[in-house]
Amino acid sequence: MFVSAALAPIAAVQANQNINTLGFRAFIKNPEKYIPKCIKHILNDTEILVHADPVTDKPGSRHYVHVKDVADALLFILDLPQDVFENDYGGAKCPKFNIIGYTELDNLEIAQVIAKCMGKELKYKLVDFNTVRPGLDLRYSLSGDLLKKLGWSPQMSFEERIQELVDWTLEHRHWL
């Protein structure tokens, strides 16, 4: 689909829901978000509540993506050849690009990666996600197959991004 006045291609882009995007300085704006909260609890040696299914004790899962990777993906999309935008997308008027991280991890695995990067012990408790936060989805996930097929993937692994974030946070504790 093209905008008729400028003949510019149109695409729908979703960055894996903004709650699954991580980056520096996230604490001041969103201290309740899971990764900043994990860093703070691990740093303070306090227990983290990990939302889980009450029947299976399986923690909720997410695909996290770093804001640097979101920017990189947007630049990649802008550089795509015009014919990508002219393909058939199952009745949709334009392609939809879901920008996701490499790996879907559950919230306990995420907290464990953070604790490992900090060189500290993880103290946690699995809690019934519906009792603690009614309406919370246990799993958020999108397919990143289109961008992957076109040749884009995040520049660094989740573990490398978390290490980078932890190091930055420990050097800039005033952001906590």
pLDDT tens track for 97-144: 888 887 888 999 999 999 999 999 999 999 886 666 666 666 777 788
pTM to 2 decimal places: 0.81
Longest CA span, the chain = 58
Residue range of the domain that includes 144? 12-175
Across the range 26-54, mean pLDDT stands at 83
Q: Specify if 170 maps to a domain.
A: yes
Q: Specify if 143 maps to a domain.
A: yes
Q: Specify if 54 maps to a domain.
A: yes
Q: Give me the CATH number covering residue 159.
A: 3.40.50.720
Which one is predicted more confidently, 21 or 105?
105
Q: Is the pLDDT of residue 47 over 90?
A: yes
The phi, psi pair for 22, rounded to 5°, reads -125, 155
Contacts 24+ apart (CB under 8 A), 72-80: 72/152, 72/154, 72/155, 73/13, 73/15, 73/97, 73/99, 73/147, 73/152, 74/13, 74/99, 76/147, 76/150, 76/151, 76/152, 77/11, 77/13, 77/147, 77/152, 80/150
What confidence score (pLDDT) does residue 54 get?
Answer: 82
Tell me how many domains the chain contains: 1
